[in-house]
Amino acid sequence: MVSSLFRNSAVLLGLVLNLGLMPCAAALENALWFDKGRPKAEAGQAAKILLTAATDGLEPEDYEAEGLAQAIASAEREQQLPADALVRLEMRLTEAMSRYLSDLRFGRIDPRQINAKFIVPDVGGFDPEAHLRVAVAGHRLPEAVRQAEPAIPLYAALRKALADYRVLATDPAVVAAWESGMPKFSGRKLQPGREYSGTALLARRLALLGDLPEAEAVPGRRYEGALVEGVKSFQLRHGLETDGVIGKQTVAQLDISPALRVRQIELALERLRWTPLLLGPRMVVVNIPEFTVRAYEVVNGRVELKLITKVIVGRAMKRQTPLLNMEMRFIEFSPYWNVPPSIAREEIIPRLKRDPAYFQQQGFEFLNGQGQTLADLSEANLLAAEQGKMRIRQRPGPKNPLGDIKFVFPNDDNIYLHDTPARSLFLRGQRDFSHGCIRVQDPVALAKFVLENQPEWTDERIQEAMKKGTSSTLRLEEPLPVVIAYITTIVRNDGRVYFLPDLYGKDRQLDDALRRRSLELKILRQNNSVPRQAGAK
């Protein structure tokens, strides 16, 4: 979707130029970029800013950067441009810079285009054109541009990573190292200690990426020693099992060139512009591709990480966890599991028909429309459940998949965070095993963070409520923002860049949406006949 800002300004420009609705002299009285027919210093600054839009992962072509730079340079060389040409250039540059600031602040697309159900409030009422006018009047355009970008530490770190990987991607040695794929090895996996014809290429790639010291980058024919440690470092940074064993997934990640990683970083920067982070002084963020939940708090203007722990998310092929943001309002201790109708129909009811004993073994019961509990398994009750006239729920206990605690942020998808009895699954690298809800490895630590402003809830009291076996609900005194995000490139506290697999294919969706958007902008400019060299002879 092309922004209304661009569409409206393009239409206005057409009216001004083609219908003569604004006298040229009047149009230039309050010009941002020209004074007495000559470009101001800010006009040159704006041209340079648009030409370097790629440093933020944006596309200079979306803002007519080259054409505007040439037009301004031409205007600087001319003694006096015609008034109508100055009006054209004034409006083109104002529109381009306003849209650039809007894109930098809010992103280029509506996240709903790629099935992200984010509610993004206009915090602070940022007005790109007003911001631009104040910046130019105060002779502080470069500073104003930086103020428009997301005030998130990860954004600045990824911006630097983008610059580093752009340099890496154009290094001739790097280009040569990715000209062909990794040599094949016998068998499905390459175990440490085995001979491998690709050790030299493997060492070169690991060294170029910073996972292997240069001094160790001259290996023998055997896959061993420092080379194995280098692979483990690489695996850690790419969301893989850090066992040093090279299998299909490790080879696939090794074959992705730094040039392709540049695009992955650009997509992460775009997501950070419209993922609703830092909406309050405290919040919880789940990053699906990373299988991680973090808890943040803003202290003295600085964002501090208070908790990080592993999570299990929805299955990639069938029950993906949705992207959304809501406010956590309740905690349920020793919760019931209200089986979702789709899971009841597809999994639970067929199992009960095959194995009636499963009903008592798992602690299931029926709940009718009047809220009455029915503990008997019968054909009538099963049929009612199939037809949606009854619900199946599981009583609190050791077999309940929600474990001992549930964190509730009401939403239409019935998604929540919860404990789990299946602790061994947290040992896996790729953890997409749930029906959509999010299982937390350390729910006690998360509960402690959530209840930080209710100090009567000590560790002991939290664990006592979890183990009580009787369901109870605690309303939070202050709602806590929760965001379920999807970012496949991050920079952690060690300063290293981590690339995560595109688990749900959402990077591909975003990439396609951005390319369509750039094409729409190009077509719209052509259809409105906006001249590319206004002011040029």
- 285-334 tens-digit pLDDT: 999 999 999 999 988 888 899 999 999 999 998 899 999 999 999 999 99
- HEC readout, 398-424: CCCCCCCEEEECCCCCCCCEECCCCHH
Q: Which CATH fold topology does 179-256 show?
A: Muramoyl-pentapeptide Carboxypeptidase; domain 1 (1.10.101)
Tell me the pLDDT band of 533, cut-offs 50, 70 and 90.
very low
- Amino acid type, 142: P
φ/ψ of 338, rounded to 5, equals: -85, 105
CB atoms within 10 A of CB 338: 14
- 227-270 tens-digit pLDDT: 999 999 999 999 999 999 999 999 999 999 999 999 999 999 99
Token code pair at residue 4: 């209304």
Tell me the pLDDT band of 501, cut-offs 50, 70 and 90.
very high
Closest by CA position to 153, among listed 458, 516, 491, 513: 491
Q: Where in the chain is the domain with CATH 1.10.101.10?
A: 179-256
Is residue 196 within 8 A of residue 222, CB to CB? The reply is: yes
Tell me the pLDDT band of 278, cut-offs 50, 70 and 90.
confident
Q: Which CATH fold topology does 277-491 show?
A: L,D-transpeptidase catalytic domain-like (2.40.440)
Report, as residue numbers or ranges, the catalytic residues: 418, 437
Sequential DSSP letters for 217-242: ----SB--THHHHHHHHHHHHTT---
Q: Given this model, what pLDDT does residue 25 score?
A: 55
φ/ψ of 424, rounded to 5, equals: -65, -25
CB contact set of 273 (below 8 Å; sequence gap of 6+): 103, 104, 105, 106, 107, 108, 149, 150
The span from the CA of 527 to the CA of 537, in Å, is: 22
Closest by CA position to 402, among listed 336, 468, 314: 336
Strand partners, 365: 393
Is residue 420 within 8 A of residue 406, CB to CB? The reply is: no
Element (H, E) at 451: none
Q: Where in the chain is the domain with CATH 2.40.440.10?
A: 277-491
